[in-house]
């Protein structure tokens, strides 16, 4: 089992605004699914209360619409618009969503009182100009929290795997009863992998769920090697990728394919960049991401790459090419023949395009 040592630093408060007032700082109208999962994973791993978790999501929505902004008022940055000049950390640290979330939650736990609503607790941490706006965001924050707990689809050979209500399902059949799974599952041969709310990856083998890794902040990716063994990857709490080292500040779910020669090509999201790990090194292959990538090996041996951008499915060709105008949540799943699946806000999984 992988164990991670987390270094906790002294928190200093600094003022924050309800969305950046800087007109040059573009704030997306929708949240980043990888950001809400990363913030949620930190809150779960540090065992914050439901109230503190909700305060974090209210603050994230008010400050950035839950996006990891590289701009803001004065020197404000990141999902919580924290300021390096006010002691929150270096710009690089603040732009690490897991680091920023840990700093927020550490201070929120210290400042919590019974008389504070989640929104007022968020304001106590953020010291914003507009304290009333945090509680006004409770519906949006609660919606994002529900999404952080659920995930999918993972479609393999036409079988749709999702996480709903804390359990893993495959074409309507419940594969678990523990009620503690989150995010998108991964399938490799006869094995099903999924992440728990406490940052543990478990595998379903011979009808039994067994732990295989801990300290993860993103959904697992498992691929079957030619010799029948499984390669397992996941983004860890420090932004590195289990099994491959760190491409920078990785977030979300990596995606891997096994090439015809048995080598593995591993793709991950680092900020807005799509990065590839092969032959022992990382390199950037595209930009413009705002959710996790999906890689699939085509019958001709080439790799197809897909993602959601602004909630719309895209395929990488000469740049990112939209597959339609419909909007979805979470990530896309693709099969070797090019069929793409995505999940609507109501939980329904449909074919795209």
User: Helix, strand or coil for residue 91?
Assistant: helix
The confidence score (pLDDT) of residue 245 equals 67
CB 286 within 8 Å of CB 297: no
CB 254 within 8 Å of CB 218: yes
The confidence score (pLDDT) of residue 4 equals 27
Return the residue matching tokens 């749709």.
160
CB 134 within 8 Å of CB 120: yes
Closest CA to 353 of 329, 331, 319, 322: 322
The confidence score (pLDDT) of residue 215 equals 87
Instruction: Quote the tokens at residue 68.
Output: 């990891």
Residue 150 CA: distances (Å) to CA of 54, 186, 314:
16, 14, 22
The confidence score (pLDDT) of residue 248 equals 59
CB 155 within 8 Å of CB 147: no
Q: What angle do CA 169, 175, 180 make, to 5 degrees?
A: 85
Cα–Cα distance measured from residue 120 to residue 191, given in angstroms and rounded to the nearest whole number: 45
The confidence score (pLDDT) of residue 16 equals 42
CA 262 to chain centroid: 28
The confidence score (pLDDT) of residue 267 equals 97
Q: What angle do CA 104, 35, 70 make, to 5 degrees?
A: 80
CA 271 to chain centroid: 11
Q: Is the omega angle on the peptide bond into residue 278 within 30 degrees of 0, that is, cis?
A: no
Return phi, psi of residue 126, to 5°.
-85, -25
The confidence score (pLDDT) of residue 260 equals 87
CB 43 within 8 Å of CB 52: yes
For 295-344, write each residue's pLDDT tens digit.
999 999 999 999 999 889 999 999 999 999 888 888 899 999 999 999 88
Q: What angle do CA 288, 292, 294 make, to 5 degrees?
A: 100
The H helix count followed by the E strand count for the chain is 7, 21
DSSP-assigned beta bridge partners for residue 281? 278
Instruction: Quote the tokens at residue 21.
Output: 């007032």
Cα–Cα distance measured from residue 94 to residue 82, given in angstroms and rounded to the nearest whole number: 7
CB 242 within 8 Å of CB 275: no
What is the dihedral sign for C-alpha 78, 81, 82, 86? positive
- DSSP state string for 293-326: -EEEE-TTS-EEEEEEETTEEEEEESEEEE--S-
DSSP-assigned beta bridge partners for residue 245? 241
Where the chain has pLDDT below 50, the residues are: 1-17
The confidence score (pLDDT) of residue 46 equals 82
The confidence score (pLDDT) of residue 19 equals 66
The confidence score (pLDDT) of residue 230 equals 96
Cα–Cα distance measured from residue 67 to residue 70, given in angstroms and rounded to the nearest whole number: 9
């Amino acid at each position: 089992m992988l164990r991670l040592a987390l270094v906790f630093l002294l928190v200093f408060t600094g003022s924050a605004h309800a969305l950046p007032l800087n007109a040059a700082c573009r704030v997306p109208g929708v949240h980043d699914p990888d950001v809400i999962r990363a913030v949620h994973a930190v809150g779960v791993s540090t065992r914050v209360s439901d109230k503190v978790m909700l305060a974090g999501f209210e603050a994230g929505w008010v400050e950035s619409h839950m996006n990891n902004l590289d701009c803001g008022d004065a020197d404000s940055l990141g999902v919580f618009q924290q300021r390096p000049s006010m002691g929150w950390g270096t710009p690089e640290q603040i732009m690490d969503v897991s680091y920023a979330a840990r700093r927020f939650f550490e201070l929120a736990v210290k400042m919590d009182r019974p008389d504070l609503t989640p929104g007022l607790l968020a304001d106590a941490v953020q010291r914003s100009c507009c304290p009333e706006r945090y509680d006004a965001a409770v519906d949006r924050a609660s919606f994002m929290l529900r999404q952080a707990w659920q995930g999918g689809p993972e479609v393999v050979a036409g079988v749709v795997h999702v996480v709903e209500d804390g359990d893993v399902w495959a074409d309507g059949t419940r594969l678990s009863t523990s009620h503690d799974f989150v995010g998108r599952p991964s399938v490799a041969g006869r094995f099903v992998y999924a992440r728990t709310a406490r940052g543990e990856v478990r595998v379903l083998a011979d009808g039994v769920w067994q732990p295989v890794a801990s300290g993860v902040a993103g959904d697992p990716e498992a691929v079957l090697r030619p010799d029948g063994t499984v390669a397992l990857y996941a983004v860890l709490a420090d932004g590195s990728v289990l099994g491959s080292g760190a491409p920078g500040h990785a977030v979300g779910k990596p995606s891997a394919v096994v090439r015809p020669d048995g080598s593995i090509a591993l793709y991950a999201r680092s900020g807005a960049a799509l990065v590839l790990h092969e032959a022992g090194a990382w390199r950037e292959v595209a930009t413009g991401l705002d959710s996790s990538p999906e890689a699939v090996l085509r019958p001709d041996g080439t790799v197809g790459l897909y993602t959601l951008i602004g909630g719309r499915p895209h395929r990488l060709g000469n740049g990112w090419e939209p597959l339609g105008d419909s909007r979805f949540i979470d990530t896309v799943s693709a099969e070797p023949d090019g069929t793409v699946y995505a999940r609507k806000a109501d939980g329904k999984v449909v074919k795209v395009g």
